[in-house]
Chain A
């Protein structure tokens, strides 16, 4: 959802067509909802696991938490009106939360593959 929001942010900045920033706002809200569940899952998994998987899960949790913080600030940013709903700050926050989301997913998926070869 965060990468999708990034895409609609870029579209808004290119077109100044207001509907794209509305899309971004909902996508970020959706990202926060889904990301919240992922964060809870990663923390629960972290507490239940032992050994080498643990450190990876810790990284995933930290990445997800940072993603959530960036996403939350971005949600407020996107609640501003017109151009100010994205601007430079919104775009940067969208890039950060997208990178963090992809990175967390990548590491979590790699850990899952190693667990079950």
Chain B
């Protein structure tokens, strides 16, 4: 009997060893290396449990200063800079998909170990840093009573908030610090089950259209394809009428959207599927082509078929297009923002910042940082560079970046951190 126990533990150890990443694979850029699929009995797992900053801060490149614009928030996710420089922060925690299998119970418990224990605020907080010292001297509950708000947009005197179940509009006058009107629901957003509950939001270049990213209702269709109606899509919404159409599909979890300023095209960061090994599948940054199908769940990165999905759909796989730019596997990109008007200058003039939350599904932690993707003429033009790091210390996560927003008013980068519940601001040193 002892013999069996030994055999079993040896077997489990072997399985755990399968979670190791192969060194030397380049998984960023337009042509990522894609290794063989490795499905294991136990997926590779590593949870970085939260730890405090103890007065320290994330690390930015030399020439930049990091300050905590605000602390003690209630799960900050995405931020928005208003025309007068006020910063809005969406705070919330949605989801709550029911457990279908014993696995769901266990996985929820394990993933919770890497999260903040604070309850989501269900509100939008306003931060004002009028003296530009990197600390918000004014902080108000701007809109309350929301339902897991995530995406934010401002167009022409209106603020749009993407709750986990609806897109809501609030009238705004410059300088106000609180909105008390209940808001108008522009349209309902798909919220059945809400496995990936976040609804990302961006306004189109001329303001007449809004774009909402709606994540899939499962990892790879394991809740059945019936619940994937209107999931893993980006909706284009007419701002006046609230009418919508599907703008792109098969796009597993488009967690943040932004308009590239030079070409005025919509871009998205997208989280890809888990449990095919530590180096599959790369999350990506891509321009969103109208009407395009990005493969989920049938295939990834173009025509790489996922064997877990039955019945398979070869005709859909043939249609699937490759995204523009890989960010790396399991980095969990949750934020994207383009610089405008020359950005920080130098190497940070034209490009996008990407907030990488980090994932549970590989043993060598990936993500947990903000990277800079340089652009030239509206296209990515080089390898991603670390911009804000130091979130991991030892085996612990002191923070996890979510939304990133380039602030053209103060010339700074705003980073939401939903583990330490902080809004970080990175700005060029004052001279």
Asked if A44 is an interface residue, CB under 8 A from chain B, the answer is no
- Decide: A75 and B223 in contact? CB cutoff 8 A: no
When A25-B101, A26-B102, A29-B102 are in contact, do A81 and B308 touch as well, CB less than 8 Å?
A: yes
A77 at the A/B interface (Cβ < 8 Å)?
A: yes
Partner of B275, one of A22, A72, A81: A81
Determine the residue in chain A with the shortest Cβ distance to B42.
A76
Query: What residue of chain B has the Cβ atom nearest to residue A30's Cβ?
Result: B102
- Partner pick for B102 among A18, A25, A80, A81, CB 8 A cutoff: A25
Using a Cβ–Cβ cut-off of 8 Å, how many residues does chain B contribute to the interface with A? Answer: 27
Chain B nearest CB: distance from A67 CB in Å? 12
Q: How far is the CA of A16 from the CA of B225 in the complex (A)?
A: 11
Shortest C-beta distance, A7 to chain B (Å), equals 17
User: Among residues 285 to 320 in chain B, which have CB atoms less than 8 Å away from a CB atom of chain A?
Assistant: 297, 306-311
Q: Which residues of A contact B218 (CB under 8 A)?
A: 81
Return the contact of B4 from the options A69, A83, A84 (Cβ within 8 A). Answer: A69
* Interface: B39 (CB within 8 A): yes
Q: CB distance B223 to A18 under 8 Å?
A: yes
A-B contact count (CB 8 A): 60
CA distance A72 to B297 in the complex (A): 28
Main secondary structure of the interface of A (DSSP, over half): helix
Q: Which residues of A contact B13 (CB under 8 A)?
A: none
- Contacts A25-B101, A65-B1, A75-B102 given; indicate if A83 touches B310 (C-beta within 8 A): yes
* CA–CA, A25 and B101, complex, Å: 6
Query: In the complex, what residues of A have CB within 8 A of residue B102's CB?
Result: 25-26, 29, 75, 79
A110 at the interface (CB under 8 A from B): no
A44 to chain B minimum Cβ distance, whole angstroms, is 14
Whether the Cβ atoms of A83 and B308 lie closer than 8 Å is: yes
A85: Cβ under 8 A from any B Cβ: yes
By the criterion of a CB under 8 Å from any partner CB, how many residues of chain A are at the interface? 23
User: Is A82 at the interface (CB under 8 A from chain B)?
Assistant: yes
SS class of chain B's interface: helix, strand, loop or mixed? loop
What is the 8 Å Cβ interface bit string for chain B, positions 181-220, against chain A (1 contact, 0 not)? 0000000000000000000000000000000000000111
A55 within 8 A of B: no
Given known contacts A22-B101, A26-B102, A81 and B219 CB-to-CB distance under 8 angstroms: yes
Docked-complex contact A18 and B101, CB < 8 angstroms: no
- Asked if B176 CB lies within 8 Å of chain A CBs, one says no
Q: Does B222 contact A (CB under 8 A)?
A: yes
Interfacial chain A residues near B4, Cβ < 8 Å: 65, 69
Q: Which residues of B contact A92 (CB under 8 A)?
A: none
Bound together, the chains give a CA A73 to CA B40 distance in angstroms of 11
| Cross-chain contact A26 with B101 (CB below 8 angstroms) | yes
- The answer to whether B308 and A80 have CB atoms under 8 Å apart is yes
A82/B310 in contact, CB under 8 A: yes
Is the Cβ of B309 less than 8 Å from the Cβ of A83? Answer: yes
0/1 interface trace, chain B 221-237, chain A, CB 8 Å (1 if under): 11110000000000000
User: Is B138 among interface residues, defined by CB-CB distance under 8 A?
Assistant: no
B103 at the interface (CB under 8 A from A): yes
Q: Which residues of A contact B311 (CB under 8 A)?
A: 16
Determine the chain A residues whose CB is within 8 A of the CB of B1 once the complex forms: 65
Assembly CA distance A75 to B106 (angstroms) = 12
Known: A25-B103, A73-B11. 17 other contacts (CB 8 A): A16-B310, A17-B224, A18-B222, A29-B102, A73-B41, A75-B102, A78-B101, A78-B103, A80-B275, A80-B308, A81-B219, A81-B275, A82-B220, A82-B309, A82-B310, A83-B307, A85-B222
User: Measuring CB to CB, which residues of chain A are less than 8 angstroms from any residue of chain B?
Assistant: 16-19, 22, 25-26, 29, 65, 69, 72-73, 75-85
* Nearest 10 pairs of A and B residues by beta carbon: A82-B308, A79-B103, A76-B41, A81-B222, A18-B224, A16-B310, A25-B101, A83-B310, A84-B308, A29-B102
Q: List 6 A-B contacts (CB under 8 A).
A: A16-B310, A16-B311, A26-B102, A82-B297, A82-B306, A83-B309
